[in-house]
Structure 1
């Protein structure tokens, strides 16, 4: 009955989804009643308007979060998604906010991440409501508005509402993500108190933009004597190592440029770190004694091109989620200070202290401090938990495939609220187009998600 009812709602579901996809909901300037700007607020208001029309009770928590609720009972089951999107970027075949259908695919920024999936869940709940299926718990479809820019919306919700007893976020991949690594972003900072002028001097090193991105560009300014010899050494080093380096020689300075390959910070092995490339070369130069030289030596000895933190003695591992990932996202070195921005993600069965204690032991010998620490604990659900077993049963019923469990280095909304696990929407073998140009989802995949989510909600709340 659920499958049949979801099919009957196909046109209504897609029309509502198109409405929400046409709204550019990239984070904007904070305004009164709009904590994340006009776009996310417009999307939230439209989503709640649609939910009102569908007959759900709706609540808007001051523009941070909204939800649609159905049923009665002391406890509730939640589906947690988000309406904000990343910037559209370049290279689209079709208008990123046009929500056009071509060859059975719906194209729009946010159709996969995460407007399409959360609306699939909404219409799955609508099917349950229309059929009048008996539930023992309330069901909430929760609409966040800041997942792409730090999830600053969820603390507002958690402080005001009790947590669900079970639920899922349709913002990962199928079958089920039961493990998410612990996530940290922080800086290694050293104040420079002394230095000498020598044959080669580093005026600055700058590269990278975000902790969770492998930087594809970094540059440095070198001054001093015999810069033509430094340029020759750079070219020879690049040829010998394969590191992509370029030097631009002017009268009194040499600008050294390093090029890498960008990748997400959770998978640094897929990228080439431009910062590590330039620091490796600068470490070959005859630099004067002082703090800058010491900072470069520290980098080359303990960080280099490593992606698991081996030399930092923090290369943690478990069989569930694999090795710790170690990414240098940005660097800023000048005459006064050096700063290295790191993004480390540690295995789900390990602890923050197991990762940080060896690092702290090493950096104290270099008078390096840790600043701007941002930490999210790992998320892990046992395969024996009721939530996991129910979702596995539903997934296998609809796909005929084994519902294997996945662990990831990225983080989802599941970390922001108790008793939530990531469940879909990307099916095995299908491309992950989150944040990409030409983000799209096949219409039939959206419909399958709606059916799976309808059954999952019913099984959790019946």
Structure 2
């Protein structure tokens, strides 16, 4: 857990510390109540499905219990309000979760406490943080801290499936003047790269002895497995005798399966990953199983997956604010001899999406590859010198004793769908080794998703003190502008 230093807010800090200590067990119990709902968002269903509806009702019930005004906004968001002045500061989070998947050591929806950790789907992303933000408003209300701003917490149910909830809410309802997304790491994320979702389709050039070809399941994850199924008649026996590492070869009744393994990572942070599709294509090229157009196709897919900078598509670029473009081929499907690829591209905040599209179309045209879908989610970028960003960042550093700078990331939060929005915590560096979990467990979308309790309590303190400081700073800025 990070430490905090004494500051000019000593008396207030002591009050907040005592309040948090007195309410810790209650806070953990409220997180457990939310985690018990399997709130996987379902597109096209009212309220995004029964699990999300139940979680939203639970959250609104908590808000009402703690003295906040509550509203179910068309099943899109729950809105919890602590009334103040005409200026509004919003805290945004989400109650929907990714599916739990397999391989858990602990029950995904029981919210198990292990030492100083909670384990369960959503404890980190994003139910635990939602409860921390709720308790920040509750603390401010209970301590009767003087606020000139109205504070709102807005909790959605479709963040993990494309943020349709935020888009529709923004069309139908007034938005806060300042928007803070509690679904990131500290300190302040003042920008998010643009996102391109691209689908490619190749010509039917693979020979008939290819029965199946597949890798990955979602576009925004570097795939850790891929396979090719061949008919025995078309297979080169030499590959069975001397398999090309790192392939594994399995002979079945009517086919031979070639499998490749990789190392998964989120498409926003692909550094250190290994794309299993690229591994498979590289081994097939090395084995010499294909010639002509089929060989050229495999070479194109291999190059696309072997790096994550977009150079294979002619779109590599970077800027000083947000770093380099990343490009991940997350899914490969096969049908009637054709290969379909799904790409997830995160581009710098100063890059031109239309230029990237033109460059991509040109490169794919050279390979006779068709671009069947191209969707752009524009970057989010705020002035890091603004009172909004500067106050939050300075508050974090003062409370923790750190000297961190605001940052830009490749990930995506509600901030990209909202005006005047930044992401601010609650993520803090966490050492999971005390849990002795298997490799790959403990992350926000992983089995045995884990949340450090001390870190979440520190985040709660940061939120309370930062909201007080932001309210004061905005009032001073407004007073200066009026003179």
TM-score, length-scaled by structure 1? 0.88
Equivalent residues in 2 for 1:290-369 (5 A)? Answer: 292-300=294-302, 302-369=303-370
Kindly indicate whether the alpha-carbon contact (under 8 Å) linking 1:295 and 1:338 is maintained by their aligned counterparts in 2.
no
Q: Which residue of 2 aligns with 1:69?
A: 81
CA distance in 2, matches of 1:396, 1:329: 37
Contact 1:67 1:143 in 2 (8 A): yes
Q: Alpha-carbon deviation of 1:40?
A: 1.0
Counterpart position of 2:269: 267
Counterparts in 2 of 1:136 and 1:283: CA distance versus 1, 3 Å: same
Q: 50, 56, 60: which is aligned to 2:68?
A: 56
Give secondary structure in 1 for the equivalent of 2:311.
coil
User: Aligned partners of 2:112 and 2:407: how far apart in 1?
Assistant: 32
Is the alpha carbon distance of 1:405 and 1:234 closer, same or farther for their aligned partners in structure 2, counting shifts above 3 Å?
Answer: farther
Closer, same or farther in 2 for the Cα pair 1:440/1:268, shift >3 Å?
closer
Q: CA deviation at 1:315?
A: 1.3
The answer to whether the aligner puts 1:232 opposite 2:238 as a matched pair is: yes
Query: Aligned partners of 2:54, 2:206: CA distance in 1, in Å?
Result: 57
- Asked if the contact 1:231–1:247 (Cα under 8 Å) also holds between the matched residues in 2, the reply is no
More deviation in 348-357 or 324-333? 348-357
- How many Å apart are 1:320 and its aligned residue? 3.0
Query: What's the offset of the Cα at 1:225?
Result: 5.8
Partner residue of 1:185 out of 177, 197, 204: 197
After superposition, the Cα gap between the structure-2 partners of 1:233 and 1:51, relative to the gap in structure 1 and judged at 3 Å, is same
Q: CA deviation at 1:244?
A: 1.5
> d(CA) in 2 for partners of 1:224 and 1:111?
48
Query: How big is the shift at 1:67?
Result: 0.8
Q: 1:16 aligns with which of 22, 27, 30?
A: 30
Whether the 8 Å CA contact 1:138–1:461 is kept in 2: the answer is no
Distance 1:60 1:252 in 2: 55
Cα 1:96/1:338, change in 2 over 3 Å = closer
Cα distance in 2 between the residues matched to 1:226 and 1:122 = 62
Give the match for residue 115 of structure 2.
103
Mark the runs of 5 or more structure 1 residues left unpaired by the alignment. none
Q: Secondary structure at the match of 1:162?
A: coil
Equivalent-residue separation in structure 2 for 1:203 and 1:348 (angstroms) = 42
Cα pair distance change 1:233/1:398, threshold 3 Å: same
Deviations 1:172-193 (A, max 9, x none): 111222232211221111343x
- Offset from partner CA, 1:177-215 (integer Å, 9 cap, x none): 2232211221111343xx696xx8434422221111112
1:425/1:377 CA distance change after superposition, 3 Å = same
Task: Give me the whole-angstrom Cα distance separating, in 1, the residues matched to 2:323 and 2:359.
Answer: 19
Aligned position for 1:392: 393
Matched position secondary structure for 1:147: coil
CA contact (8 A) 2:243 2:249 kept: no
C-alpha distance 109-392 of structure 1, shift in aligned 2 (>3 A)? same
Secondary structure of the 1:66 match is: strand
Q: Against the structure 1 CA distance between its residues 305 and 60, is the aligned structure 2 distance closer, same or farther, given a 3 Å change threshold?
A: same
Alignment deviations for residues 248-288 of structure 1 (CA, whole Å, 9 cap, x no partner): 45687543322222222223333221211222233453646
2:211, 2:231 within 8 Å by CA — same for their partners in 1?
Answer: yes
Matched, 1:439 2:449: yes
SS in 2 for 1:35: helix
RMSD value, Cα: 2.7
CA distance in 1, matches of 2:206, 2:127: 56
The Cα shift of 1:439 comes to 2.5
Correspondences of 1:88-99 after superposition (within 5 Å):
88-99=100-111
Deviations 1:268-318 (Å, cap 9, x if unpaired)? 33322121122223345364655x455334334x52512212232211112
The residue aligned with 2:52 is: 40
> Do the aligned partners of 2:179 and 2:415 also contact (CA within 8 Å) in 1?
no
SS of the residue 1:205 aligns to: strand
Offset of residue 60 of structure 1: 0.6
Residue matched to 1:125: 137
Contact 2:230/2:255 (8 A) holds in 1: yes
1:67-124 CA distances to partner (integer Å, 9 max, x unpaired)? 1011144331100001112233444444332234332333332121111112111111
Q: 1:29 to 1:104 in 2, by over 3 A?
A: same
Q: Which moved more, 1:439-448 or 1:109-118?
A: 439-448
Distance 1:347 1:144 in 2: 27
